[in-house]
Chain A
Amino acid sequence: MLRSMASRVLVGSVIAALYLFLLAPILVTAIMSFSNDAVLSYPPSRWGGRWYLEVLGNSDFRKAFRVSIVIALAVMTLCLLAGLPAAYAIARYRFRGRNTLFALFTAPLLLPSIVLGVGILLVFVRMHLTGTYVGLILGHLVVAFPFVLRILTTSFAGLPPDLEDAASTLGAPPWKVVHRVTLPLMVPGLIASMALAFLVSFDEVVISLFLVGPTLRTLPVEVFSYVNYRVDPQIAALSVILIVVSVLIVIVIERCVGMLRALGRQ
């Protein structure tokens, strides 16, 4: 729709430059991760995959990785168990205070995680939950749950109620309706919300900073502490691994419900 070739090239270049700025840190990290130097400087004198091997051999990182995976899987499961019934209720029933309740459930998205982190620290210290798996899982739950709830609510709302009525009149008792009609149609939303919950927990760093203990550390916290004191290529390699995990999840979410719908507001 633009007139001349020149203006098209101009616009294209500007947009490309903006995208480059947007993706700069990710691209730079990826490139630098293949530097074989001992110190991160540009340009690298040698290229290779040495630091990836270092990362994979680093026992601290491996342990933190395992911790993060376990917690993320637990968070994902619990979010689903809590989110499915809540989303069903919000999408299908009209009741007083429904909007307020939904706002309350999704409030953690707007609340600064630093404030939430301190608050959770104070409460969990009293309950001896700091430095425990349970504590970390609960801390991650509260920030992952809003995402799950939003996606599931949209998915439920998108199911035409006629379909469940039709199944019912064809002789399906309520549990069969859920089993044969509702859940199969909810699968994309379920997958997307599970993927997102997993990632939110896996990447969570601020609240985790308050909840980790000397023997229990998550991967993002490990990375944070490391970077706080030094900058070396090992972290670049580790970052790329984390980026790859994120990219895979983005692909899953996009194929299931679409990124815009998953992360956007109503």
Chain B
Amino acid sequence: MSSDPRRGVVELERLSKRYGDDAPAVSDLTLRVEQGELLALLGPSGCGKTTTLRLIAGLVQPSGGRIKLDGADITDWPSHRRDMGVVFQSYALFPHLDVGQNIAFGLEMRGVSRRSLAGMVSAALAMVRLEGYEKRRIRELSGGQQQRVALARALVIRPKVLLLDEPLSNLDASLREELRHEIRDIQQQLGMTTVFVTHDQVEALSMADRIAVMKQGRVVQIGGPTEVYEHPKHPFVAGFVGRINSFRATVCSGQPATAKLDIGGGEVQLPRQLAAGQPVLIMIRPHRIGLRRPRSEPHTILDPMRNHMKGRIRKAVYVGDMLQYRVETGGIEFLCERSTRAQSDDAFAIGEEVLVEWTLSDTLVFEQNESLEGGPAT
């Protein structure tokens, strides 16, 4: 729609927000959202993601730092001049106006003529698949419908940036998934720069072009879904995005690089060299862990590129598309996941002896300078 190559580029420079004497809600945040990309702000509650969104929208004034839109410094601009579309967690649909009037509100504020209004409103409703809903009252709508009206209202004004504050968290699971795809489709169709706040990592992974994982007011890692999932730079990211097993260990001296687990004393090979005596955190994704029956395999020499541990199945949980096994090995418990599409006669029984294995390259190692719990993920 626009020929301006820089339309909808958001830059946050050293943005911070403090409330009184409390710990800062947002701290030294620097980030750039590219034109047309969907950036997810992902993190636990209280991590500052909603505050960041509200700072971008102009609903909150920053304590420090600048905000730029397409190169212009908008830090001091009031929210009604920022040309951004916001979808609130509660949808914030005006109860005293009907659906059509809600959607037309932003257009009226921009002085769009009456004649053009009707056409634009029905086009917006068609985009969210709610044709003909103009005269409905807000209280007659279901949660999903309200969400779509809120989206239409934000999009009809053709904003430079779309901001979504946990728009799906009030909906039930199946609706959430359906709307996830719809929102993503619309966003890509329009090529609209979007910032999306969520605490649900599945949402972030499935929708975003890039994910910014936040904790305590800071961005801990930012990158594409694969990168954040497969190559987390920080144990917090590894643990927050997806399930993971994690154990404490101490690096042993000598070659090849190995570490001794704090509990159980088993030895694990490390993918890179580290200083002897260094405490580390070892993390492995559950679906990267393989299980083998120890005696049925003809191999007597175990693959040196893999880590192995002997264990016993403690629990098997069937969750429809996946089987989760909890394997007890020498004091620590592994969570292992296998798709049920794999041969069903391969299923393991409780109490059965198995060999737990995973490749070296799948072993994530973090030097321990923060306190984190060990043990299998939930």
Contacts and interface: CB of A to CB of B under 8 A. Distances in A.
A226 to B, nearest CB: 47
B59 interface: yes
Which of the listed residues A170, A172, A173 has the most CB atoms from chain B within 10 Å of its own CB? A170
Given A185-B95, A185-B96, A169 B90 contact: no
Contact of A171 (B93, B96, B110, B163): B110
Query: Interface of chain A, helix or strand or loop or mixed?
Result: helix
A165 to B, nearest CB: 5
A170 B157 contact: yes
B106 interface: yes
Which of the listed residues B92, B93, B96 has the most CB atoms from chain A within 10 Å of its own CB? B92
A172 B92 contact: no
Interface in A60-76: none
A162 B88 contact: yes
A14 B293 CA distance: 81
Contact of B79 (A163, A169, A184): A169
Chain A contact residues (Cβ within 8 angstroms of B): what range?
10 to 19
B92 A165 contact: yes
Given A160-B90, A181-B94, A184-B96, A165 B105 contact: no
Contact of B80 (A160, A171, A184): A171
Contact of A165 (B88, B95, B106, B154): B88
B58 to A, nearest CB: 8
Contact of A169 (B80, B93, B95, B110): B80
Interface in A171-202: 171-174, 176, 180-181, 184-185
Contacts of B105: 167, 170, 172, 180
B179 to A, nearest CB: 19
B94 A173 contact: no
A58 interface: no
B84 interface: yes
A174 B109 CA distance: 12
B59 A165 contact: yes
Contacts, number: 64
B157 A171 contact: yes
A184 B230 CA distance: 52
Contact of B109 (A162, A163, A165, A172): A172
A48 to B, nearest CB: 49
A16 interface: no
B80 A168 contact: yes
B234 interface: no
Nearest to A169: B86
A140 B359 CA distance: 84
B215 interface: no
A166 B92 contact: yes
Interface string B65-80: 0000000000000111
Contacts of B83: 171
B137 to A, nearest CB: 14
B90 A171 contact: no
Contacts of B94: 163, 166-167, 181
A168 B92 contact: no
Contacts of A165: 57, 59, 79, 86, 88, 92
Interface string B285-329: 000000000000000000000000000000000000000000000
A169 B82 contact: yes
A185 B80 CA distance: 20
A17 B94 CA distance: 46
A177 to B, nearest CB: 8
A170 B82 CA distance: 9
Nearest to A161: B92
Given A176-B109, A181-B94, A166 B80 contact: no
Nearest to B111: A171
B96 A162 contact: no
B248 interface: no
Interface string A134-176: 0000000000000000000000000010110111111111101
Given A163-B94, A184-B96, A185-B96, A172 B80 contact: yes
A165 B163 CA distance: 13
A174 B59 CA distance: 12
Contacts of B79: 165, 168-169
Nearest to A163: B92
B86 to A, nearest CB: 4
Contacts of B210: none
A82 B163 CA distance: 38
A125 B334 CA distance: 88
Interface of B: 57-59, 78-86, 88, 90, 92-96, 105-106, 109-110, 153-154, 157, 163
24 contacts: A160-B90, A162-B88, A162-B90, A163-B94, A165-B57, A165-B79, A165-B88, A166-B86, A166-B93, A166-B94, A167-B105, A168-B58, A168-B59, A169-B57, A169-B58, A170-B105, A170-B106, A170-B157, A171-B83, A172-B80, A173-B78, A174-B78, A174-B80, A185-B96
Instruction: Kindly list the 3 A-B residue pairs having the minimum CB-CB distance in the complex, ordered from nearest.
Output: A171-B109, A170-B106, A166-B92
Interface of A: 160, 162-163, 165-174, 176, 180-181, 184-185
